Amino acid sequence: MNISEAAKRSGLSSKTIRYYESIGLVKVAKRSDNGYRDYSESDVEALRFLQRARATGFGIEECRQLLGLYDNEQRHSSHVKSLVLEKVEQVESQIAELQAMRNTLNTLASRCAGDEGPHCAILDELSTVSGEESNLEEGK
């Protein structure tokens, strides 16, 4: 099957598939007589695996590891599990960062009248010299 069919079935774009090939994340596709890439079902399986792993938050290099384990009959499932648990931690710390941001933003918004006038507590806070009594971080 041609690349666009493989794209449709894997959920990746054709561009992304070529890109993954170019960085060696998937093996080089075999070519038809016309020079087009030609994919088999098992190629699509690997592509779908990647699509899922990426959507689940794994980076390219982590996908490379996962794919290596996927292809390795000698793997230990504990190894796979630890990659996943490590990723959970990373995702959780990202969540915490974003929550802190959201709290700061909400605090800023709550202090601003949001009217026709030019005075704005948000701008005041953003320009405040660190160390002045603003307590922005505390989300009061």
Partner DNA sequence: GCTTGACCTTATAGTTGCTGGAAGCTTTAG
Partner DNA sequence: CTAAAGCTTCCAGCAACTATAAGGTCAAGC
Q: Which residues bind its own copies (CB under 8 A)?
A: 11, 45, 48-49, 52-53, 56-57, 66, 69-70, 72-78, 80-82, 84-85, 87-88, 91-92, 94-95, 98-99, 101-102, 104-106, 108-109, 112-123, 125-127, 129-130
Is the separation of the CB atoms in 12 and 3 below 8 Å?
no
Measured N-to-C along each axis, helices 41-55 and 60-70 cross at an angle, to the nearest 10 degrees, of: 130
Tell me the CA end-to-end span of the chain in Å, nearest whole number. 59
Residue 60 contact partner, candidates its own copies, DNA, none, CB within 5 to 8 A by sort of partner: DNA
Quick check: 86 binds DNA (CB under 7 A)? no
Q: Which of 45, 61, 86, 97 binds DNA (CB under 7 A)?
A: 61
Tell me how far apart the alpha carbons of residues 46 and 23 are, in angstroms, rounded to a whole number.
Answer: 15
What's the closest the beta carbon of residue 18 comes to DNA, in angstroms? 6
Among the listed residues 11, 86, 96, 75, the one whose alpha carbon sits nearest the alpha carbon of residue 48: 11
Quick check: 54 binds DNA (CB under 7 A)? yes
